[in-house]
Structure 1
Amino acid sequence: MFSIPGTPPVTVTPAAQAQIRRLMTGKDAFGLRIGLKKGGCAGMEYTMEMAPAADAADEVIEVGEARVLIAPTAQMFLFGTEIDYESGLLESGFKFRNPNVTESCGCGESIRFEPLEGSRASSV
């Protein structure tokens, strides 16, 4: 993982911890795997799935009874991200506050990152 020793790569708010724990229990899952894929107006989208087990290359973050698994291709893009869960009258869902995002689309569903030094694209 691309991280600073002693610093968690992502933080998880209490609301997100509670929702992840509920999902883990309801689906009898090991944890919530988050990643990135190409798509959307801005070029990239977050992915989430309940995982029955951690893959060998997943970064596993345990916060209380909640477990987040970060897919290897997303690890460097998610460093410093806060994962929250918000409930509202019209929608409820996980929110990612990611300091690495340089642009997002109007609907907030897709994101873009600055190209890495030495690369020609801002994709995974």
Structure 2
Amino acid sequence: MINLTDSALDAVRNAMAGASEPVGGLRIKVESGGCAGNKYLMGLVNEAEPDDTVVERDGVKVFVDMNSHDMLAGTTIDFVVALEGAGFTFENPNATSSCACGKSFG
């Protein structure tokens, strides 16, 4: 369903290790907004919600809410370090359009 590259896994592990509270995994969801219609939201959370899909790779759990599941199916998440800065990128086969920053899609 969702794939995290090795670089993304390392970034999530580092964030989890540095968290001040216990972390159960990474929540990824889609909300209305952004310049292309939908935006990605990510954050560390303690546990999954009852209706979440849980994907685990190399010990990292990713929680996806039921409303975002279809929009994120097949998405690859990477963590890129470039001259402009570092951050997560999304390669989403369900997106028909995206904004220049890559954080919003339609």
Note whether the superposition's TM-score is higher than 0.5. yes
AA of the residue aligned to 1:105:
C
Per-residue deviation at 1:66?
1.6
Larger radius of gyration: 1
- Extract structure 1 runs of 4+ deviating beyond 3 A: none
Q: Which residue of 2 aligns with 1:109?
A: 103
Aligned-partner Cα distance in 1 for 2:66–2:17: 25
- Output the CA distance in 2 between the equivalents of 1:26 and 1:59: 25
Q: Once the two structures are aligned, what percentage of the paired residues are identical?
A: 38
2:70 counterpart SS class: helix
In the alignment, does 2:41 pair up with 1:20? no
Q: Distance in 2 between matches of 1:62 and 1:108?
A: 24
Matched positions, count: 104
**2:90–2:102 Cα contact (<8 Å) kept:** no
Deviation (angstroms), 1:109: 2.7
Name the structure, 1 or 2, with higher relative contact order (CA <8 Å, separation 6+).
2
Q: Find out whether 1:58 has 2:34 as its counterpart.
A: no
* SS at structure 2 position matched to 1:32: strand
**1:88-107 matched pairs, under 5 angstroms:** 88-107=82-101
Measure, in 2, the Cα distance between the counterparts of 1:15 and 1:105.
23
What RMSD in Å do the two structures reach over aligned CA positions?
1.2
Q: Could you state the TM-score of these two structures normalised by the residue count of structure 2? A: 0.90
Q: 1:108 to 1:12 in 2, by over 3 A?
A: closer
